[in-house]
Amino acid sequence: MPRLGLGTWPLDDQAVAPVVERAVGLGYRLIDTAHNYGNERGVGAGLRASGVPREELFVTTKFNKRSHSVRGVRRAAQDSVRRMGVGYLDLLLIHWPNPWRDRYVAAWQGLIELLKDGQVRAIGVSNFKATHLDRLLDETGVVPDVNQIQLDPRLGRAEIRDYHARHGIVTEAWSPLGADTGLLTDPVITRIAAEHGRTPAQIVLRWHLDLGLVVVPKSSSAARLAENIDVFDIALTPAQLADITALDRGAAGEAAALDSDSFGH
């Protein structure tokens, strides 16, 4: 799985196609979408227009609560493959647990079947808490390959990252540059950016990579797309890494994040 990819929300089919084509041309190989984004057709069009062979690409999508059943998951996977025209999925995720519906274990069982059948290459979840993950493990014994969660330096999610590390789950960060623009103007981030002669966004993305995370920043700007992927030659010092990590707001940050016990689609 590539370490850095392209997030595609909230672009629609028409807007996303040229962005995906441009991103792949810049070297992006991980493309992240979802049924709920309503842009899978456009993502597929952009991938085809890029001219890059399918086997060099890593395509992730997610299904919503309407597909939380064994049969529903199979149908969702088939529909996503058809809409994108990609032949197969590299990674399929449960988008939100929606625990009040009590169907995410059935959805996980459906993903396990798809994996065994070879219809997807990896399976995982998104926005799952440790309690949700515990239930999957207890009832199926199968560990997700990935949990995609909201995560940035001010929302460090140390506890769930530690859980992932203990169970061999890849942590993938959505909204890695923060849910608003405040993170990129933080004095710590701007100071370190100046020390390296790089942009604040590049410094934040390098922090994610140094923690071993996968990131999927989103942008439709050609300049930002190029900027976001140009982070593999930055070397943060241990002190700089610690200074950025210290921005974590702890419980206050967790309280400001979307709560998957009460929110989901």
Q: Check if 37 is active-site.
A: yes
- pLDDT score for 184: 96
C-alpha–C-alpha distance, residues 106 and 150, integer Å: 24
- Map out the domains of the chain as residue ranges: 5-256
Joined together, the tokens standing for residue 176 give 């890695």
Q: Which of 28, 37, 104, 163 is catalytic?
A: 37
The pLDDT of residue 190: 98
State the DSSP code for 17: H
Report how many helices (DSSP H) and strands (DSSP E) the chain contains, helices first.
11, 8
Q: Is the pLDDT of residue 256 over 90?
A: no
Taken in order 40, 43, 49, 50, is the CA torsion positive or negative?
negative
Per residue in 143-161, pLDDT tens? 999 999 999 999 999 999 9
The average pLDDT across 25-51 equals: 98
Task: Collect all residues with Cβ–Cβ distance below 8 Å to 178 and sequence separation of at least 6.
Answer: 152, 153, 154, 155, 184, 204
Residue 245: its pLDDT value, please? Answer: 98
Band (pLDDT 50/70/90 cuts) for residue 219 is: very high
- Report how far residue 240's alpha carbon sits from residue 188's, in angstroms, rounded to the nearest whole number: 9
CATH 3.20.20.80 fits 5-256, yes or no: no
Burial zone of 135 (CB within 10 Å; 0-12 exposed, 13-18 middle, 19+ buried)? middle
Collect all residues with Cβ–Cβ distance below 8 Å to 244 and sequence separation of at least 6: 153, 188, 189, 192, 203, 204, 207, 236
